[in-house]
Amino acid sequence: LAHDIKNPLNSISLMAQRIMRKGDTETADVARKIRDEIARIDQKFKEFLDIAAPLRLRKRNVRIDELLREVVEAFKPECKSKSIKIELDLKPVDAQIDYEKFRRVIENLVKNAIEAMPNGGTLRLRCNTEGDHAFIEVEDTGIGIPKDSIEKIFKPFYTTKPSGTGLGLAQVERTVVAHNGKVEVKSEPGKGTAFRIVLPLKN
């Protein structure tokens, strides 16, 4: 089923890219929109596959502070275009984690934070260690989460977004729990949201 869906999407995306290179300006703009929509559909499809597949971790020693910097670097252009200020407080943190899966966790939280600040704001990322645990925080000064939604946000398919799948935060919690950690969230409507990940340093 995965191949039956992904192969046509890839073909359409490639055709759109060819049109972008060879077409006139108006046609290229339409092709660019098609390519972007295909990318969005592909991302949603990956989320469905991730939540359905068994979670197998390939742990290795990772500098979490460096991982956070890499993720932030990727989102800098979007933050700049949306007048979002970035504040980092990253202490050196070494932990045994699955780099790819954990990177997706942070990407998901940062993406959500940016979407919560359509009129600009501040994105804060922190990490440090205390005792036998690592602490990672992603905080925004955005619209916040309604109180009646806080307990539901980690449930698969629950979403407050018109175009959301409700799988992003479910996968965040699933991945963190697989690392023997936990995710905490604090939010105040109109003021912002803070997600905190607590990870054991010794797994």
157 by Cβ neighbours in 10 Å (0-12 / 13-18 / 19+) ranks as: exposed
Q: Is the pLDDT of residue 77 over 70?
A: yes
What count of residues does the chain have? 203
Do residue 116 and residue 194 come from a single domain? yes
Q: Is residue 189 domain-shared with residue 89, that is, in the same domain?
A: yes
CATH label of the domain that carries residue 100:
3.30.565.10
pLDDT 10s digits, 3-34: 666 777 788 888 888 888 887 788 888 888 88
pLDDT digits (tens, 9 = 90+) for 150-180: 888 778 665 665 555 567 898 999 999 999 9
Q: What would the pLDDT profile of 187-202 be if each residue is shown by its tens digit?
A: 999 999 999 999 998 7
**24 and 72 part of one domain:** no
Cross-strand partners of 139: 124, 194
Calculate mean pLDDT across residues 129-144.
Answer: 97
Whether the predicted pLDDT of 1 surpasses 60 = no
**Structural domain for 42, as ranges:** 2-52
Q: What pLDDT does 191 receive?
A: 95
